[in-house]
Structure 1
Amino acid sequence: MRLVVGYLATPSGADGVALGIRLARSLNARLELCMVIPPDRTLPARVPADPGYDDVLVHQAHQWLAEALATVPDDVQASAHLSFHESFAQGLLDEVNRLQAHAIVVGASHDGVLGRHAIGTVTSDLLHSAHVPVALAPRGTRHHDVPRVREVTCAVGTRAGAAVLLRTAVRSCLRMQSPLRLVSLVSIEPHHHLRGDGRAVRERAVTHAQAVLDEARVQLQGDGLAITAQVADGDSVESAVRTLEWHEGDIVLVGSSRLAQHHRLFLGSTAAKMLRVVPVPMVVVPNSDGHPDD
């Protein structure tokens, strides 16, 4: 198994590497640190426009990658790669195909709140086009010395279409030997399909969510996993997520929107709302398996 880390010589890049190390160690995977630079970079005004500039840029990129590689512990196998593309996101996707990687890991945007997610242009592009899971590191992940994944939370939702997400969660937990927490979010917002008045509406929503969780647990029996299930209830997705308890080393898996093309990601509204408040790494899974089992 290979994990591609989209690397920049920035704090965000360091956050991505830190999460990549944690996931690689847990999954017994190989880490591929990938930096993408444009082939015809516009020269800053202060840099002389001479043919040697490209060589300097490439040399500097290799140096940054070497420094990042030096931060990877000896118990994690890792390599560094430099490629050229106008689009950083597409360059990473090309590297995923070339290396036959199973996921992409990226850090949060530099202007995000510490301990929270912030989506920049590259991450947004990946979350609307990637054919493999995308793991998002909250800002400041580099400051947390967490060796392995402690528990996987799988947000199964209250609608159909969670089969691929559940399979991914189960495979990951079995490989990492970590417990699985199934969570269904209940939020009665103005546009909710169960909207109405009073306690009865919320009770129907909670009952529906619990039925989804019970069905998922039945499907997962016999896998040898430690499984728990929980309904998170709130007036909004954000408030429901805030009722959940999180620990260092936890990650959360969410599924791609139903609007996504086959084998592609598309960040749905529920996942986007979760992303605003969840304090742990989030992995967004495409709506269909991108790779065979390992």
Structure 2
Amino acid sequence: MTSAIVVGYTATDAGADAAALGARLARSLDATLHLVIVLPAEGTRSPVVPPERAYEDHIRAQAKRWLEDAILRLPHEVHSRGHVRIAESFAEGLIAAGEEFDARLIVVGAAAGSLFGRHRLGSVASELLHSSTIPVALAPAGTATQDDHVVPRVTAAVGTRPGAEVLLDEAAALAADGGVDLRLVSLVPFDVPPGLDTGAIRVVGEEHAHEVLARAKDRLPDTLGAVVEEAPGDSVEDAVSNLSWLPGEVVLVGSSRLAQPRRLFLGSTAAKMLHELPVPMIVVPRTRGEAGDR
């Protein structure tokens, strides 16, 4: 196994969705899957909860049973392990686990009450998106009910803002390691200055498409393909809803240009995309010293 994936697990539908997406990614990337339950540190626990050792042992034992049950439901070919961690917050514990295992991705599910096949950020995902140095994969509600064994294609939403190269490189690496084609969705119409005429937008878009396609092909094996597709529509939401999606594919977006170096922050464009996406989104942190993509 050459890489690791950390899943923020809870014994809920969202936890099952995260585990299912983690398993799909692990099979595609030949990675070890680490299911992690994070229990609250003593200082963060409610004062009505007794601090006795017996209670601590009971909670840990229950968490281990949940992990054992979850692992039994995973595909047998996925190399998986379960871990119980103690931290002041769930996100903090996941980031620590991700750093410990040198994880390629941290996977979490949608907030409770999300519509089937859609995203809604919960408190853990929001905290991760503001603090993680590791790419975060967001599983839409209902992922666990889908029979998607591997990722069939990688899509990257690329624009012209600084940091797009970081995102493109990550997407190409994911496609290459998974042995699948790469689709580059152009966000140029939403990145150009307001008021620019249609002809100028077309010129900018064509130049950008040529550049990103050439860069992507340089990073992919000859056996894999790369295409650029312009997102149709007058808004980001229209563009995403008009795109076709393969069952099980993932889309990568960059972190906000306002994010701190090597930290995630979901920018306005990515947030608008998230509302319409029927597939998992992977948010990639920008590298130190470079502005984020979105």
TM-score after normalising by structure 2: 0.90
What is the alpha-carbon distance in structure 1 between the residues aligned to residue 57 and residue 179 of structure 2? 46
1:201 to partner: Cα distance: 2.5
**What residue identity is the alignment partner of 1:237?**
V
What is the alpha-carbon distance in structure 2 between the residues aligned to residue 125 and residue 207 of structure 1? 39
- Partner SS for 1:112: coil
Quote the residue 1:92 is aligned against: 94
Quote the residue 2:203 is aligned against: 207
Contact (CA 8 Å) 1:194, 1:205: kept in 2 or not? no
**Residue-by-residue CA offset, 1:116-152 (whole Å, 9 max, x unaligned):** 0110011001111110110110000000010000111
The counterpart of 1:219, out of the listed 193, 215, 222, is 215
What is the alpha-carbon distance in structure 2 between the residues aligned to residue 80 and residue 260 of structure 1? 32
Report how many aligned residue pairs link the two structures.
281
Quote the residue 1:141 is aligned against: 143
The counterpart of 1:70, out of the listed 64, 72, 86, is 72
Contact (CA 8 Å) 1:184, 1:210: kept in 2 or not? no
Contact (CA 8 Å) 2:35, 2:80: kept in 1 or not? yes
What is the alpha-carbon distance in structure 2 between the residues aligned to residue 165 and residue 106 of structure 1? 20
1:160 to partner: Cα distance: 3.2
1:185 to partner: Cα distance: 2.4
1:50–1:21 CA distance, 2 compared to 1 (3 A): same
Quote the residue 1:292 is aligned against: none
1:274 to partner: Cα distance: 0.4
1:102 to partner: Cα distance: 1.6
What is the alpha-carbon distance in structure 1 between the residues aligned to residue 102 and residue 30 of structure 2? 16
**What residue identity is the alignment partner of 2:94?**
L
Runs of 5+ unmatched residues, structure 2: 289-294
Quote the residue 1:111 is aligned against: 113
Q: Percent identity?
A: 47
Matched, 1:244 2:262: no
**Residue-by-residue CA offset, 1:195-253 (whole Å, 9 max, x unaligned):** 23xxx724433432332121011223343230111111322110111121112011101
**What residue identity is the alignment partner of 2:267?**
G
Matched, 1:264 2:260: no
- Partner SS for 2:76: coil
TM-align CA RMSD: 1.8
Contact (CA 8 Å) 2:34, 2:80: kept in 1 or not? yes
- Partner SS for 1:128: helix
Where do 1:100-179 residues align within 5 Å?
100-179=102-181
Contact (CA 8 Å) 2:189, 2:205: kept in 1 or not? no
1:31 to partner: Cα distance: 0.2
1:287–1:48 CA distance, 2 compared to 1 (3 A): closer
1:51 to partner: Cα distance: 4.4
1:193 to partner: Cα distance: 5.0
Contact (CA 8 Å) 1:158, 1:209: kept in 2 or not? no
1:112–1:95 CA distance, 2 compared to 1 (3 A): same
Which has the higher mean CA deviation after the structures are superposed, 1-10 or 99-108? 99-108
- Partner SS for 1:109: coil
Which has the higher mean CA deviation after the structures are superposed, 127-136 or 208-217? 208-217
What is the alpha-carbon distance in structure 1 between the residues aligned to residue 8 and residue 157 of structure 2? 25
1:253–1:153 CA distance, 2 compared to 1 (3 A): same
Which has the higher mean CA deviation after the structures are superposed, 256-265 or 142-151? 256-265
Contact (CA 8 Å) 2:35, 2:82: kept in 1 or not? yes
- Partner SS for 1:280: coil
Matched, 1:42 2:46: yes
**Residue-by-residue CA offset, 1:56-92 (whole Å, 9 max, x unaligned):** 1111111111111111212110000001112100111
**What residue identity is the alignment partner of 1:249?**
G
1:43 to partner: Cα distance: 6.7
Quote the residue 1:23 is aligned against: 25
Where do 1:56-67 residues align within 5 Å?
56-67=58-69
What is the alpha-carbon distance in structure 2 between the residues aligned to residue 158 and residue 209 of structure 1? 9
